[in-house]
Amino acid sequence: MSMRRRLRTIAFWLLAAALLVCHLIVIQHSLTARFWEDEAFNLTVPLNLLAGLGYSSDGALSGSTITPFDARISTGPVVLLPVAGMLLFGGDPVISARLVPVAFWALLIAGLALLGWRVAGRWAALAGAAAPLAFNGLGSYSPIQGPADLLGEVAAAALLVWALITLRRRPWLAGLLVGLAVQCKLIALLALPAFAVAIWVRSPGRGWSRIGQTVRRGWLPLLLAGVPTLLFELWALVSLGPAGFVEHLREMVRFVRSGGQRGQSTTVAQKLDTLTSAWFVPGWVAWLTAALVIVLIVGGFVEVRRRGRLKRRSMALALAGGVGSVAFVGWWATAAHTPLWVRHPAVGVLAFFPVLVIVACWGARELASARILRDAPVNGAEEPVNLRRIAGGVTAAALAASLAWSVAGHVQQTTLPRNETLATQRADVAVIADWVEKTGTEWLAAQPWGAAVAPIVMSGAHVGLFDAPAMGGVPRLTGMPCDSETLVEGSRYRVCAPPAR
């Protein structure tokens, strides 16, 4: 091994170790972050399952009664059933539950690293593993605080990445993984066009012959993609009965059509501005990075086309990444009824944006290996080829700098002071949890929906919403002063007696 190659190897492993440390810092920070309301609402499902109440939520957004197969729980059983398994081992329920999304985060990073290594070598593996850290899901009312949040977005993205990995040799497994991703987060259905395009690129023939081959190769993966959903809905049918199952389907349709929100009206410009802000770099750097990725991908394909050896694997990944990104971002941007939450396109952003970064690294490698055509005049061909190599190197260096800036920004965020953490929540909820246990209180009403939800779930009580008819005579947990008798009080939250009728 030459000295130059040895130094590159040392540099790679040092950077890989540094990236691993960054991931560990982000994970640790996420594990100890504030347990927020969507996580808490999701946690009610495995808690009720273990309590013998079936696959049910507390129904805080559906009438505040135990609600089997609640359509408002958008995080699916592929995440929540393993959480129930983790809770069987005891320990802190929040940490136990959050370890499941952390495992999916590790699966996502490992998948991107493997995909990058296969496509363009170790540097692409490093870039792929770093890319998810560039995404900042914290800056909205409904955030992704970090990889440990008890949500389905990271898990769905991880399974989609592994579906891309297995698509070439085991398309049936890829279809099954896509189906499991849908049962992490229903919005993962938007990934289907990306996989259809990838199968089409890999199919032989031209014209109608190629379409026929695509159908032959794609019918089994498509069929298997529906199996997890079919099994889940059969479970719902058996549990709810025909009448209850029909109402369950109606509620699901209402939830999907409304996005779970009312009175929202947003524009494409607002959505794109929100997405521009969802990175650990300034907006102009985010747009510049996107342009660099496109330039490197196009440059790479131009170079391999020039040599007459177009690679279908790279083409399939590039088109899958592009179609997947456009499908998620395009749907969200044009869906005026959905709010300015980057959680909605996050599955596609975490799965397909890093794939485009990996293909960009492949393009940079192809440009770096550009050579003079043998039959071209030396004076006429040398300068443009050298310019391509220089341009590719500079563009790749700029992309690497942007990724490094993003990772550093993400790590820096973990050092900022926090108003509330899981530890402060535990300390404040402890006195309320003791009161719940001593009085045998089964339900507490959150006033309003928001920060009051998580303390109720952490206290061991079921959570309802204060304005639901079912919560008429139920004590209320709030962070505001009580209008009635204060039953128990912590430093931040208190339980108020139900108002007199």
Closest to 314 in 3D by CA, of 356, 375, 376, 352:
356
| 234 φ/ψ angles, rounded to the nearest 5 degrees | -65, -40
Model confidence, pTM: 0.94
How confident is the model at residue 374, as a pLDDT? Answer: 44
Compute CA distances 17 → 12, 21, 105, whole Å: 9, 6, 17
CA distance 336 to 463: 31
Closest to 337 in 3D by CA, of 252, 272, 257, 264:
264
Question: Residues of the chain with pLDDT > 70: what percent?
Answer: 94
Of 48-57, 187-196, 250-259, 377-386, which gets the smallest average pLDDT?
A: 377-386
CA distance 1 to 250: 65
CA distance 88 to 94: 13
pLDDT, tens digit (0-9, with 9 covering 90-100), for 227-264 = 999 999 999 999 999 999 999 999 998 888 776 666 66
pLDDT at position 97 over 80? yes
pLDDT, tens digit (0-9, with 9 covering 90-100), for 103-122 = 999 999 999 999 999 999 99
Q: Do 40 and 422 touch, CB atoms closer than 8 A?
A: no
Query: What's the distance, CA 497 to chain centroid?
Result: 39
DSSP 8-state assignment for residue 416:
S
Residues 6+ apart with CB under 8 A from 92: none
Residue 394 CB coordination number (10 Å): 12
Alpha helices in 259-368 (DSSP H): 268-276, 283-307, 312-334, 346-368
Question: Residues of the chain with pLDDT > 90: what percent?
Answer: 73
DSSP secondary structure letters along 45-114: HHHHHHTTS-SEE--TTTTSS-EET-TT--B-HHHHHHHHHHHTT-S-HHHHHHHHHHHHHHHHHHHHHH
pLDDT band, residue 383 (cuts 50/70/90): very low
Residue 260 gets the label, from left (phi > 0), alpha (psi -120 to 50) or beta, of: left
